[in-house]
């Protein structure tokens, strides 16, 4: 593992930086971090510069992709393109990016002339981004387990909508019928899709990392077969921000 996704709001940049320094990984790791919400800030340029400086100080290494955490802020890329071009020259940051939730947030940046990376939710239940062109740069799939729903029969948090809890039961019954492990299928479905360059997962322990790294790649024909299963689901249920 040499790529890490973080953000100032996660409180992990300093810890990650200490790990990188202690293991001499400054020239090996790929770091993805975020610009905090700057919506409606008049002095957003200085806020972004200060945040970038702070992230670099804590991490102690270059940043591969600097994402807008709030997709609404990405309008600034178009409004003030020169500022962001200069930002990449002033700081050791390779690429700008946007963390999105809806396909339209990608479409709105279709004409942006420079490389632009995207983070987007994608899994066997949420395939909205399959029809979206993201040609500018790297594409990172997140929410590949959909808050645990796709990882295990009991993985979804219990305050999730009842419709999702019922769907979880049906989904895992299908996998059991075909003798497929949930984590294996969830990861294989994502990595075998042409719109994905990388996928992001959150872990709580070394054992979870080992489990993910040791997953079996499910054969393409099995993925296509199971991918034909359709689940009638309100798209709002695919966004955990709306689970209340």
| SS3 call for 228 | coil
Asked if the structure places residue 155 within a domain, the reply is: yes
d(CA 182, CA 171): 9
Whose structure tokens read 């972004």?
48
Backbone phi and psi for residue 140, each to the nearest 5 degrees, phi listed first: -115, 115
pLDDT in tens, 163-205: 888 888 999 999 999 999 999 999 999 999 999 999 999 988 8
Residue that terminates a domain, selected from 121, 155, 170: 121
Tokens for 82? Answer: 């020169």
Same-domain pairing of 110 and 157: no
Please report the pLDDT score of residue 224 as a whole number. Answer: 82
CA quadruple 206, 169, 228, 235: dihedral, nearest 10:
-90
Whose structure tokens read 């987007």?
120
Mean pLDDT (whole number) for 48-77: 97
Please report the pLDDT score of residue 117 as a whole number. Answer: 96
Q: How confident is the model at residue 236 (pLDDT cuts 50, 70, 90)?
A: confident
Number of structural domains (the chain) is 2
Asked if the structure places residue 59 within a domain, the reply is: yes
Percent of the chain with pLDDT over 90: 63
pLDDT in tens, 1-32: 899 999 998 889 999 999 999 999 999 999 99
Burial class (CB in 10 A: 0-12, 13-18, 19+), 197: middle
Q: How confident is the model at residue 234 (pLDDT cuts 50, 70, 90)?
A: confident
Please report the pLDDT score of residue 102 as a whole number. Answer: 93
Domain of residue 158: give its range: 146-193+205-243
Same-domain pairing of 97 and 6: yes
d(CA 31, CA 93): 10
pLDDT in tens, 76-134: 999 999 999 999 999 999 999 999 999 999 999 988 888 899 999 999 899 999 989 88
Please report the pLDDT score of residue 160 as a whole number. Answer: 83
Same-domain pairing of 21 and 110: yes
Which CATH number characterizes residue 35's domain?
3.20.20.100
d(CA 99, CA 120): 6
What 8-state DSSP symbol labels residue 36?
P
Same-domain pairing of 10 and 110: yes
d(CA 5, CA 20): 13
Same-domain pairing of 61 and 152: no
> Residues near 168 by Cβ (< 8 Å), separated by ≥ 6?
149, 153, 155, 156
d(CA 72, CA 49): 18
Asked if the structure places residue 213 within a domain, the reply is: yes
Same-domain pairing of 158 and 239: yes
Question: How many angstroms separate the Cα of 169 from the Cα of each of 44, 122, 156, 176?
Answer: 46, 20, 10, 11
Asked if the structure places residue 77 within a domain, the reply is: yes
Look up the pTM and report it.
0.92
Same-domain pairing of 7 and 105: yes
Read out DSSP for 117-151?
A: EEEEE-SSS--GGGG----SS-EEEE-TTTTTTTT
Percent of the chain with pLDDT over 70: 99
d(CA 181, CA 214): 12
Tokens for 243? Answer: 């689970």
Asked if the structure places residue 127 within a domain, the reply is: no
pLDDT in tens, 125-168: 999 999 898 867 899 999 999 988 999 898 787 778 888 888 88
Same-domain pairing of 84 and 187: no
**pLDDT of 230 above 80:** no
Please report the pLDDT score of residue 240 as a whole number. Answer: 83
Please report the pLDDT score of residue 119 as a whole number. Answer: 97
């Amino acid at each position: 593992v040499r790529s890490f996704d973080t953000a100032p709001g996660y409180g992990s940049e300093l810890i990650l930086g200490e790990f990188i320094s202690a293991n001499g990984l400054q020239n090996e790791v790929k770091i993805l971090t975020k610009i905090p919400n700057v919506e409606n800030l008049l002095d957003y340029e200085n806020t972004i510069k200060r945040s970038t400086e702070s992230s670099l100080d804590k991490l102690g290494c270059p940043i591969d992709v600097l994402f807008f955490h709030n997709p609404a802020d990405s309008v600034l890329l178009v409004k003030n393109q020169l500022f962001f071009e200069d930002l990449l020259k002033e700081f050791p940051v390779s690429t700008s990016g946007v963390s999105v939730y809806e396909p339209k947030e990608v479409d709105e940046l279709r004409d942006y002339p420079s490389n632009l990376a995207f983070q987007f939710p994608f899994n066997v239940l949420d395939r909205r981004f399959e029809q979206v062109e993201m040609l500018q740069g790297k594409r990172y799939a997140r929410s590949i387990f959909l808050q645990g729903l796709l990882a295990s029969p009991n993985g979804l948090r219990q305050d999730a909508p009842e419709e999702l809890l019922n769907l979880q039961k049906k989904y895992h019954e299908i996998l059991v019928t075909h003798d497929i492990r949930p984590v294996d299928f969830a990861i294989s479905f994502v990595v075998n899709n042409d719109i994905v360059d990388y996928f992001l997962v959150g872990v709580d322990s070394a054992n979870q990392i080992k489990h993910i790294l040791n997953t079996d790649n499910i054969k393409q024909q099995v993925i296509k077969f199971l991918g034909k299963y359709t689940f009638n689901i309100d798209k709002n249920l695919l966004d955990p921000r709306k689970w209340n």
